[in-house]
A and B are shown apart, each in its own frame.
Chain A
Amino acid sequence: MPLPELPRGAAPLVSFAPLLRANGFPVAPDQTENFVAAVGLLGPRSMADIHAAARATLAPTPERFDDFDALFDAHFRGRTLAAPAPGDDETQMVEPEDGAQTLIEPEEANESGAEATGVEALTVREFQRMDDPAALLRFRRAAPAHLPTRRSRRHRPHHTGARPDLRRALRAAVRRDGEILDLPRLAPRHAHRRILLLIDVSGSMKSETDRAMRFAHALTQAAQRVEVFTLGTRLTRITQPMRRRSRTAALAAAAGVVADWDGGTRLGEALAAFLSVPRYAGFARSAFVIVLSDGLERGDPSALIGATDRLSRLAWRILWLSPLAADPNYAPQTEAMTAIAPMLRRIGDGSSTAAVAQEVLGFASLP
């Protein structure tokens, strides 16, 4: 059967999809089909109708509305693109030349929660390969059994559970002509608690960030629900890059997204920015929060104290891993750390990958 001919008016509609795909929007063929049908339904009386149909059927995420509209204008209204639309993280691999290079990046390119005026000059750098793959491997093997859990609302068969399993009881009874010989039971399942990993990438943590990133990747791969953010002069969500299986690809992608490596320390402000985005604050709700930071805050510590206080009320528990806490007799020295210490479940040793792994795995069995 020959395919029905496409109406001539539909050609520009159909050709919009490849343009979107080329710019990192996932568009499925049936979405294109819906788009064409939707435009037909609306008249279309004006360009605004086509735009409304495109937004509704092609479903761009709110973060990328501006990119989407720019592409729309370019395609349907013949306007030139003001700035090259940033692709998704698949295409955003910045090739580093000898260590570091400067890159001017539009604000939308990462999920920054902080406001910044104009375009900042930011640096991209590559993770240096470092030791201790064995600790990470051990961590990934041990993680499923040792990470903190919570009671799920689902149940599983269990011989001493509290709830009767009526479904199985009935099945058994049917097989035995209605005789009930024993009552199968159910117990609640346990699921991994959501984990929120906050990594300080400010200048004072410079020597630690590579290790922290590799740990973040191992954690994201090993646990079920992990969100990872970096805190520096601003806030960056790197969960998506970290979900890639290959560590090299994940770290390269993260290096392209995070733009404030080794910057100044505005930990309190970055944390407050994190909490002021309701969607992000939602990640912290009843989550196991791990902070990799030395807690060194220049200037007024009140922002850090206030933000940690709020975080501690949202979170299940906070584990603060500081490279300064390697000494077992470590006691917080700075004003900020002294003030927030009571809000944390534990301040642990963050001085090596093995120590971090041990702290995280041992957290669930803390007395």
Chain B
Amino acid sequence: MPVRRSVAGIDGPDTLAVALRDAQYLAGEGLATAAYLALALGKPLLLEGAPGVGKTEAAKAISAILGRQLVRLQCFEGIDAAAALYEWNYPRQMLAIRQAGDAYVNIYADDFLVARPMLEALRHASDTVLLIDEIDRADHEFEAFLLEFLSDFSISIPESGTVRAQEPPVVVLTSNRTRELHEALRRRCVYHFIGYPDGAREADIVMMRASTVARDTADKVVRAVTALRAEPLAKAPGVAETVEWAEAATLLHGMGEPWPAAFKRAIGVALKDQDDLTFVAPRLDAILDDAAA
């Protein structure tokens, strides 16, 4: 197992946290540690958490600080090797056979290969970050197939041979936990569960992400969102919603709307479910007044 203490100048969780902050991502200590360990141990990083806590953003920030291109594979039910790995360009192969006539033509040359995200990431392991997004949407067959990929970092193409990564690529997997992932997959990864950030850090995130929002507004929004998350909602607002709500309310306030009303009018960017809206409606004023106090 190749352990590298320092990867691209990052020699510890603290340096990584600072670098992530420079890339506009505020990572908690746990996430910085897990991400550093994944890089140093050459293992995939598995991030789980509710929608909107910044799992995909974390992968983007990691690729930014490493100066690598992000190759993203969005999973869906029924995803298969042709969508994830490679596919032959059959029409071109067919044409090549017809055109060649009696001459010899290698229709399994690389020219005819359409690389999908996972093959792409293997071929350029040293300058890409592979993001396998929402792995919980894929089915069990694909998960089993991922196991093989994540332990050897190689793909065998029956017609032309095996593609092997020169070095273990940086891989980030995310899951919304709509279903339990297989133990074998968790075992191969460095794992981190991203929860909602605490109030102060969430306000910092709002300040960092939203240019026009005042600190005071950010604090109010975070208090309101924290109160909303305590309600049994179908879809609790994520961090992205907090940022949008702060921005939306600031925009309305700039047009002359007074404060609690500006929050209330912009509620549609924070709660996006009619049932949730009707559920909190009787208490919304109280929640917003408490937050604004």
Residues of chain A at the chain B interface (Cβ within 8 Å): 26, 28, 30-31, 33-34, 37-38, 40-43, 48-49, 52-53, 55-57, 59, 61-62, 65, 152-154, 166-167, 169-170, 173-174, 177-178, 180, 272-273, 275-276, 278-279, 281-283, 306, 310
Are B232 and A276 interface neighbours, CB within 8 A? yes
> In the bound complex, how far is the Cα of B104 from the Cα of A174, in angstroms?
12
CB distance from B191 to the nearest CB of A (A): 4
Nearest A residue (CB) for B98: A178
Stretch at the interface among B32-40, B160-168, B216-224: B32-40
B8 at the interface (CB under 8 A from A): no
CB distance from A289 to the nearest CB of B (A): 16
Q: Which B residues are CB-close (under 8 A) to A177?
A: 97
CB 8 Å contact bits of B34-58 with A (1 = contact, 0 = none): 1011101101001010110000000
CB distance from A6 to the nearest CB of B (A): 16
B255 at the interface (CB under 8 A from A): no
B235 at the interface (CB under 8 A from A): yes
- Counting chain A CB atoms within 10 Å of each CB, the highest count among B29, B34, B37, B192 belongs to B37
Q: Which B residues are CB-close (under 8 A) to A273?
A: 232
Are B234 and A56 interface neighbours, CB within 8 A? no
Could you list 10 further interchain pairs (A-B, Cβ under 8 angstroms) beyond the known A38-B41, A278-B50, A278-B236? A38-B37, A49-B33, A55-B192, A56-B33, A59-B187, A62-B48, A153-B78, A170-B94, A173-B94, A178-B97
Are A52 and B94 interface neighbours, CB within 8 A? no
CB 8 Å contact bits of B174-203 with A (1 = contact, 0 = none): 001111100100110111110000000000
CB distance from B40 to the nearest CB of A (A): 5
Nearest A residue (CB) for B100: A178
> In the bound complex, how far is the Cα of B244 from the Cα of A338, in angstroms?
42
CB distance from A257 to the nearest CB of B (A): 16
Q: Which B residues are CB-close (under 8 A) to A169?
A: 90, 94
Are A154 and B90 interface neighbours, CB within 8 A? no
Please tell me the size bucket of the interface on B. Answer: 35 or more
- B187 contacts which of A28, A278, A310 (Cβ < 8 Å)? A28
24 A-B residue pairings within 8 Å (CB atoms): A38-B41, A41-B40, A41-B41, A42-B37, A52-B33, A53-B33, A53-B37, A55-B191, A56-B30, A56-B34, A56-B38, A57-B191, A59-B189, A59-B191, A61-B180, A62-B48, A154-B78, A166-B90, A170-B93, A180-B94, A273-B232, A276-B234, A278-B236, A310-B275
> In the bound complex, how far is the Cα of B266 from the Cα of A268, in angstroms?
31
Q: Which B residues are CB-close (under 8 A) to A61?
A: 180
- A52 contacts which of B29, B78, B234 (Cβ < 8 Å)? B29
CB distance from B270 to the nearest CB of A (A): 16
- Contacts between the two chains (Cβ within 8 Å), count: 116
Are B190 and A41 interface neighbours, CB within 8 A? no
Q: Which B residues are CB-close (under 8 A) to A180?
A: 94
B107 at the interface (CB under 8 A from A): yes
B120 at the interface (CB under 8 A from A): no
Are B90 and A26 interface neighbours, CB within 8 A? no
> In the bound complex, how far is the Cα of B178 from the Cα of A283, in angstroms?
7
Are B234 and A174 interface neighbours, CB within 8 A? no
Q: Which A residues are CB-close (under 8 A) to B189?
A: 59
Are A281 and B187 interface neighbours, CB within 8 A? no
> In the bound complex, how far is the Cα of B87 from the Cα of A136, in angstroms?
44
Are A278 and B234 interface neighbours, CB within 8 A? yes
Are A52 and B34 interface neighbours, CB within 8 A? yes
Nearest B residue (CB) for A272: B232
Shortest Cβ-Cβ A-B pairs, 4 listed: A153-B78, A166-B90, A59-B191, A276-B232
CB distance from A315 to the nearest CB of B (A): 14
B149 at the interface (CB under 8 A from A): no
B80 at the interface (CB under 8 A from A): yes
CB distance from B87 to the nearest CB of A (A): 9
- Counting chain B CB atoms within 10 Å of each CB, the highest count among A52, A59, A61, A166 belongs to A59
Are B186 and A59 interface neighbours, CB within 8 A? yes
> In the bound complex, how far is the Cα of B79 from the Cα of A30, in angstroms?
29
Q: Which B residues are CB-close (under 8 A) to A153?
A: 76-79
CB distance from B252 to the nearest CB of A (A): 29
Beyond A56-B192, A153-B77, A282-B178, whether A41 also contacts B232 by CB under 8 A is no
B64 at the interface (CB under 8 A from A): no
Q: Which B residues are CB-close (under 8 A) to A40?
A: 3
> In the bound complex, how far is the Cα of B50 from the Cα of A174, in angstroms?
49
CB distance from A348 to the nearest CB of B (A): 27
Are A174 and B97 interface neighbours, CB within 8 A? yes
Nearest B residue (CB) for A65: B193
Nearest A residue (CB) for B275: A310
Nearest A residue (CB) for B78: A153
> In the bound complex, how far is the Cα of B50 from the Cα of A55, in angstroms?
18
B256 at the interface (CB under 8 A from A): no
CB distance from B83 to the nearest CB of A (A): 9
> In the bound complex, how far is the Cα of B178 from the Cα of A224, in angstroms?
16
Beyond A59-B187, A278-B234, A279-B178, whether A167 also contacts B41 by CB under 8 A is no
Beyond A153-B78, A167-B90, whether A278 also contacts B5 by CB under 8 A is no
CB distance from B275 to the nearest CB of A (A): 6
> In the bound complex, how far is the Cα of B107 from the Cα of A38, in angstroms?
46
> In the bound complex, how far is the Cα of B30 from the Cα of A65, in angstroms?
13
> In the bound complex, how far is the Cα of B190 from the Cα of A37, in angstroms?
12
CB distance from B28 to the nearest CB of A (A): 10
